[in-house]
Amino acid sequence: MSTPATTTQAPLGSGFGATTTAQEALAGRDLTGRLALVTGGYSGLGRETTRVLAEAGATVIVPARTPEKAAVALEGLPRVEQDVLDLQDPASIDAFAARVLDSGRPLDTLITSAGIMAVPLSRDARGNESQLSTNHLGHFRLTTRLWPALRRAERARVISVSSRGHRIAAVDFEDPNFERREYDKWVAYGQSKSANALFAVALDARGQADGMRAFSVHPGTILTDLARHLSDDELRAMGALDDQGRPITGNLKTIEQGAATAIWCATSSDLDGRGGVYCEDVDIAAGVPPDSPSGDGVRPWAINPEAAERLWALSVDLEGVDLP
């Protein structure tokens, strides 16, 4: 692997911000002829991402574990192709990726939006903790399997949906699957979100020679189905609900605003020649110290190149796959 060009982890001054919508972040670009793939693309932020891409002319592949639910959610959207995918099942991932590759089309954009948050302890069939399995390992396997299609696009972009939840925990390389330490659903979530950011760092380093760039994004705080496992008390503690159980809209982004950073990372010419960075509020985020009291910015353990390489090696070991 050649030494990659680095992108400074600092805002560009994009002219956008926290209230920018996905449609505004697209800035009128015509995506006719492009092929995108959005995991989780039929629900919440993922559906808005799919809608904006498709209505701008892109063909969008949306895989789902529950095709019937996806069909209802995506009804009426143009140029959307549905398929079946279970991110905790290697055989399902491999079969889905094979169908995409068999079409012979270049894949211009891959947005890994599917995920789970703060769930009770469960494991996939191989023993991997479910949040690490769904949020990171499944997407790692999917990306490596889709690599030929990404290379074929020549200037593909991969957008790994992370979260400010990364500040909760770095990846524990000694016990990533909670086999020896006590399970904490928030620590597991934070670890998976740090993994999402590190994945973009390592993938970007590997993709540059083929013109492929990778980014991680924090969408913002949005009340979607992702929070279905949280109690009202937990949502109140997060500032998402008031004492009467009503959403506190002033503390939250809309779904249209939450999808904006991923759309910007996928389409903006401002990011040509850049990659491997964590983005939020429709700009590259600032790097902040580990003990920063701010909810904004990215902590060093989520963008550290050595940690990114260590995560890649761990993922290869756990998944048994690597780039061809």
pLDDT for position 251: 57
Q: What pLDDT score was predicted for residue 278?
A: 98
pTM: 0.92
pLDDT of residue 32: 98
Catalytic residue of the set 42, 183, 189, 278: 189
Q: 188 and 129 in contact (C-beta within 8 Å)?
A: yes
Confidence (pLDDT) at 285: 98
Domains along the chain with CATH numbers: 22-319 (3.40.50.720)
- Distance between CA 119 and CA 132 in Å, rounded? 11
User: How far is it, in rounded angstroms, from Cα 142 to Cα 124?
Assistant: 16
- Let me know if 183 is a catalytic residue: no
Could you tell me which of 15, 18, 16, 27 has the C-alpha nearest to residue 253? Answer: 18
- Nearest-5° angle of CA 75, CA 23, CA 143? 70
Taking only the tens of pLDDT, the chain with its 324 residues reads 545 567 999 999 999 999 999 999 999 999 999 999 999 999 999 999 999 999 999 999 999 999 999 999 999 999 999 999 999 999 999 999 999 999 999 999 999 999 999 999 999 999 999 999 999 999 999 999 999 999 999 999 999 999 999 999 999 999 999 999 999 999 999 999 999 999 999 999 999 999 999 999 999 988 545 555 545 555 455 544 445 555 544 558 999 999 999 999 999 999 999 999 999 999 999 999 999 998 899 999 999 999 999 999 999 999 999 998
For 48, 136, 314, the CA distances from 181, given in Å and listed in that order, are 38, 20, 18
Half-sphere exposure of 2 (CA within 13 A, CB side): 7
pLDDT at 295: 87
Return the half-sphere exposure (C-beta side, CA atoms, 13 A cut-off) of residue 180.
5
Q: What is the side-by-side order of every strand in the sheet holding 35-39?
A: 80-84, 59-64, 35-39, 109-112, 157-161, 213-218, 277-280, 283-284
Q: What tokens appear for 267 in the block?
A: 């389409």
